Amino acid sequence: MSAPEVPPQTQQLSRQPDNPGKCTTYSIRALAAVGGIICIITGCLTFITISPMCIVAGIYLILLGLLVEMLEAPICCQYFTLTDKINKWGSNLPAWVKALMYFVLPIFAMVMCQGLSTIIGALVIIAVGILYGVVFIGKKGDGVRAAQAHRRFDNVELEEEAEEHRFSKTKP
């Protein structure tokens, strides 16, 4: 008789690199650059008001838009001496830090002033934060799928061992 069949060897799952692809990175950076410009414009519109809290919120949105521009599109702020240092620092930040930063910082402006332009400017930056969050979670989602595939393979192995055990018992 022939030898019992050996279960197929585990397939090596290709491990995704720690960084997202260049297309994803450049797309998010481009959207963040546009979002920074929108944040600066809406900050200027918020600044033109009588309410002192809205004036502060407008200045805050302008500074937040400049920070986003320095982090994501340094070419837009190339005449500031601090731009290179901020861009080098921001380039080394992990996606979850950028997601948290872009999600939390605009909330302060919305708390200070609930005008339409303030909310629009803040929501644009929050959307960039959500995109960075998706990049961070996307890497973890592949690990979950790999674990599920590994679990299915383990179940098949256990079933095959049970069949071999059942057939190897001798009848009395």
Tokens of 112: 């200070």
Q: What is the mean pLDDT of the chain?
A: 78
* pLDDT confidence bin for 12, thresholds 50/70/90: very low
How many beta carbons lie within 10 A of that of residue 160, not counting itself? 14
Tell me the pTM: 0.68
Residue with tokens 């919305």, as numbered in its chain: 110
For Cα atoms 36, 37, 40, give the angle at the middle one, nearest 5 degrees.
Answer: 85
Could you tell me if 39 and 121 are in contact, meaning their C-beta atoms sit under 8 angstroms apart?
A: yes
pLDDT over threshold 80, residue 122 = yes
- For the stretch 19-44, pLDDT in tens is 677 788 888 888 989 999 999 999 99
pLDDT above 80 for 115:
yes
The answer to whether 89 touches 106, Cβ cutoff 8 Å, is no
